[in-house]
Amino acid sequence: MNKIADLIVKLKWPIIVVVVALTIFFGLQLKNIHINSDVISSLPDNDPIAKLYKDIGEKYGGNDMGMIVLETDDIFKTEVFEHIKQITDSLKVTKGILTVSSLTDIIDIKTSEFGLEIGKLVDEYDLPDTQAELDSLKQYIYSKDMYKGSIISEDGTATLIMFTMLDEADKQAVAAIVKNKVEQMNLPEKVYYGGLPMMMNDVSDLIMADIIWLLPVVFLLIALILYLSFRSKRGVIFPLLTALIAVVWTLGLMQISGYELTMISNNIPIILLAVGSAYSIHVLNRINQTYDKDRKQALIKALAYIFIPVVLAAVTTAIGFVSFVFGAYLTMIRDFGIFTSIGTVFALLLSLFFIPAVISAFSMYKKNTDEKQHDNEEQSNFISKNILKPLVNLLFKHPKYTLTAWSLLILLSIGGMFLIKTSVNMQEYFKKDNPTRVSEDIMQKKFGGSQPVFVVFKGDVQSPEFLNIMIKTEDYMEESPNISTTQSVADLVEEMNNAMGEGKHIPDTKEKIEQLWFLLDGQDIMPQLVTYELDEAIIQSKFVSTDTKAMEEFIDYMNKFIDENSTENCQIQLTGMPSVYVRMNESLLSSQASSLIIAILFVLIIVGLILKSFSKGVYATIPIIATIAVLFGFMGFAGISLDIATVLVASIALGIGIDYSIHVITHFNHALKETGNLNKSLEDTIMISGKAIIINVVSVAAGFLVLLFSQMVPLQNFGLLVALSMIGSGLGALTLLPVILILANRRKKITVK
């Protein structure tokens, strides 16, 4: 160990040069970093249902559809029609927009005994302006299934303006232009925006908001805590500097390796500030406390002592983050885990190499005068006097009470665990007043939801058999209470057959269908329903409920039908948001279990190896496992659901929280070896390591608590739960662990005797 420490001091200049060069290099990458606000892109490619959903969205252009909702007490007013026309006309000439359909621009086909009359539902050049006209229009619209509930709400208070974008358009930019244009019209109606491009635009804003507002807050807060703990400039500057450099490196690396900032990974800087500053705190603390006439020797001594504990702390934390890789459903969670853990390693390397190098290169040692004050400071310290001393007394007097208290708490928590709910609905991830969530709510209330359901059919689209199965599927779907309308090319074929005077059904020969295609070819709607090669077609629908149970039931209901009706000539598959949510829900529980088990095993092995004793490894993990039990209990009682972010808490808590136990055990072992006195060793441990633990708990918890102000609900809960786990594991390391050590050592003594 001394050799490494010696080397660090010797190579101080190369180290500093490398760090500065790397920071400039990675820093330059930052200006190119992309924000990826496309939630759909985070669905995993290795889940066939999610993959199919992504592919369908791309193939049929569904992902490029934007929606504007106008809401007022009554749509059937001339003024409202004028506003709809104003928006429609403005969108039509917006660059990047392909088609627009709204009440003032939608084709209406009337079928009579003579043939077809193709016209506009509303003549945009002669809007209805008398009550009689408005009334008759209203009556006509509500007489047709294709308008009711799709372009106008059943209660007549909301209407939709839908637009599709060009493939090559920058969808978010177009969304921003659309929003801007409509907002400048200053319309009296309430306006909402929906569809993936509009949502991406909102999410993008929200990602930026989190970075701009939360990062400085976390920075200042941690600076304040550091100052209060160390009362020196370098005690503030060094930890923050390492954390910041680690952030720059991590984000720079993300950019180079082609990853984008998502609504989860935008919090990497905040988390690295909270977690990463801890390692340099330890290093600094040790350097401060090590006295030697030769300052260089003191530095080397300090480094040699702190090297392993700090590496251990960082590695366990990194394992906590990286354990998501094995269970996370969304790729953005997996990426978040990987890069946070890389960032943790960066912070570790910087605290071990860069900090000592800077201190020795610039001779920034602590002044000697500090030495005299050292003991006084320690004595008068608030934490020692008011928290640690009473704690030591309590533990020695009533070890069994402490154990009983923890046992009761754990039992209670196990009860709470059964109350934990899961939440996979992305709507609930936004705050109640978030525009995306408000729009989704409106879509659900007025237009039968906005969660797409697709049924994919492969085969010869122009065969009567194929189209009849599609119609049968649509009828079956519409019997479900959660499906209000369905749309497919089969409907259009029926419509055209009716126009030919044959009645509303699928023609009985392929010949007829091929000729009807003459009327359908080139229609704007066709690429949204059928492939160019005519070998695949889809039913488009929307799912009303956001309840996972209802989704599960619907999928079972559909799968039963698919099993019975899918044939070689017409292969049927189901996908859509409900299917994806159900998969996500299943994966939440399994990923929670797998990531936690992996993290516990790894930590147990590493701690056991380092402490050279399996039983000590087990002792060290007991407080953190107890904390995790309490954490789950709290989630159950407090009604915090297991979601894409809270599912990560347990592994992270394990990774960070284990450090406290490791500190306590190593210190205790050292002291016991030196003094041979159990009580004295334990008191020393709690009095000295306890202080560092409390400072660390407070700074990490405070950092995570800042996430309470995040725009994303899962991150708010995530922040709260990690902070609670930090407090819990700190408390566990300082109460439960000492009691276990006391009891274990007493028993050992008895058996020895």
Partner 1 sequence: MRLVKLSVLVSVLFVLIGFNTNAQDGNTILKKLDEVMYSPKDMTAKTKIILIDKAGKQKSREALTKQKGTDKRLFRFTAPASQAGIATLSLPNDVMYLYMPAFGKERRISSSVKSQKFAGTDFSYEDMEAKLFVNKYTAKLLKTEGNLLVVELKPKSPKSSYSKIIVKLDKVNYYPTYMEFYDKGGNKIKTATYKFEKIGKYWNAKEITMVDLKKNHKTIMQMSDVKYDTGLTDDDFTVRKLKQ
Binding site for partner 1 (CB under 8 A): 89, 92-95, 98, 107, 114-120, 125, 166-167, 499-502, 509, 511-512, 514-519, 521-523, 532
The nearer residue to partner 1, 96 or 399, going by C-beta atoms, is: 96
Single-letter amino acid code for the residue at 292: D
What is the nearest approach in angstroms of partner 1 to the Cβ of residue 126? Answer: 10
CB of 144 to partner 1, least distance (A): 17
94 vs 573, which CB is nearer to partner 1?
A: 94
DSSP label at residue 266: G
Distance, in Å, from the CA atom of 27 to the CA atom of 154, rounded to the nearest integer, reads: 54
We find the least distance from the C-beta atom of residue 133 to partner 1, in angstroms, to be 17
Q: In the bound complex, what is the minimum distance in angstroms from residue 47's beta carbon to partner 1?
A: 28
Of 223 and 526, CB closest to partner 1: 526
First to last CA, the chain: 38
**Which CB, 61 or 149, lies closer to partner 1?**
61
Smaller CB distance to partner 1: residue 515 or 571?
A: 515
The answer to whether 329 touches 591, Cβ cutoff 8 Å, is: yes
3-state SS class at 108: strand
Residue closer to partner 1 (CB basis): 334 or 512: 512
- Tell me whether strands 65-71 and 190-194 are parallel, antiparallel or unpaired: antiparallel
Region of 535 (left: φ > 0; alpha: ψ -120 to 50; beta: rest) is alpha
For 676, residues 6+ apart whose C-beta sits below 8 A from its C-beta are none
Q: How far is the CB of 131 from partner 1 (least distance, A)?
A: 24
- Tokens (6 digits) for 399: 């070890």
Please report how close the Cβ of residue 110 comes to partner 1 at its closest, in angstroms. Answer: 10
Q: Closer to partner 1 at the Cβ: 167 or 535?
A: 167
CB of 79 to partner 1, least distance (A): 21
CB of 515 to partner 1, least distance (A): 5
Question: CA distances (Å), 49 to each of 453, 544, 562, in order?
Answer: 12, 20, 15
DSSP code of residue 687: H
Q: Which is nearer to partner 1, 141 or 631 (CB)?
A: 141
Please report how close the Cβ of residue 432 comes to partner 1 at its closest, in angstroms.
37
CB of 452 to partner 1, least distance (A): 23
- Tell me the C-alpha to C-alpha distance, in Å, between residue 714 and each of 161, 424, 488, 678: 31, 10, 37, 45
Measured from the CB of residue 531, what is the shortest distance to partner 1 in angstroms?
11
Spell 501-528 as b/e; 16+ CB within 10 A means b: eeeeebbeeeebbeebbebbeeeeebeb
Give φ, ψ of 454 to 5 degrees: -125, 135
How far is C-alpha 403 from the chain's CA centre?
37
CA distances to 14, 287, 370, 377, 426 from 365, rounded to whole Å, are 20, 9, 11, 18, 52
Q: What is the largest CA-CA distance in the chain?
A: 109
Question: What angle, 0 to 180 degrees and rounded to 10, lies between the N-to-C axes of helices 464-478 and 548-565?
Answer: 150
Please provide the DSSP assignment of 599-612 as one string.
Answer: HHHHHHHHHHHHHT
Nearer to partner 1, 479 or 533 (CB): 533
C-beta closer to partner 1: residue 77 or 181? 181
Based on CB atoms, which residue is closest to partner 1, 1 or 185? Answer: 185
The residue behind tokens 């629908």 is 541
| Burial call 47-84: b when 16+ CB within 10 Å, e when fewer | bebbebbbebbeebbbbbbbbbbbbbeebbbeebbebb
Q: CA-CA distance, 156 to 75, in Å (whole number)?
A: 6
- In the block, residue with structure tokens 């208070």: 157
Tokens of 713: 């609900």
How far apart CA 663 and CA 665 sit, in angstroms, is 6
Q: Are 165 and 201 in contact (CB under 8 A)?
A: no
Q: Which is nearer to partner 1, 120 or 148 (CB)?
A: 120
3-state secondary structure of 639: coil
Alpha helices, DSSP H, located in 418-527: 435-447, 464-478, 489-499, 510-520
Beta-strand pair 451-459/483-487: unpaired
For the bound state, the minimum distance from the C-beta of residue 537 to partner 1, rounded and expressed in Å, comes to 17
* Minimal distance, residue 539 CB to partner 1, in Å: 23
**Closer of 345 and 516 to partner 1 (Cβ):** 516
Minimum CB distance to partner 1 smaller for 503 or for 639: 503
Query: 68: Cβ–Cβ under 8 A, 6 or more apart, which residues?
Result: 87, 160, 161, 162, 163, 178, 182, 191, 192, 193, 194
Strand partners for 573:
456
Closest contact distance (angstroms) between CB of 514 and partner 1 is 4
Q: d(Cα 732, Cα 622) in Å, to the nearest integer?
A: 8
In the complex, what is the shortest distance from the CB of residue 503 to partner 1, in angstroms, rounded to a whole number?
12
User: How far apart are CB 40 and partner 1 at their closest, in Å?
Assistant: 23
Distance CA 206, CA 226 (A): 29
Nearest one of 3, 227, 326, 214 to 698, comparing CA atoms: 227
Residue 595 token pair: 């990531």
- By C-beta, is 131 or 515 nearer to partner 1? 515
The residue (of 537 and 600) whose beta carbon lies closer to partner 1 is: 537
Would you say 296 or 505 has its CB closer to partner 1?
505
Give me the least distance between CB of 464 and partner 1, in Å please: 12
CB nearer to partner 1: pick between 117 and 535: 117
Q: How far is the CB of 568 from partner 1 (least distance, A)?
A: 23
Backbone φ and ψ of 347, nearest 5°: -60, -40
For residue 546, give both structure tokens. Answer: 């956001």
Burial class (CB within 10 angstroms; exposed 0-12, middle 13-18, buried 19+) of 159: buried
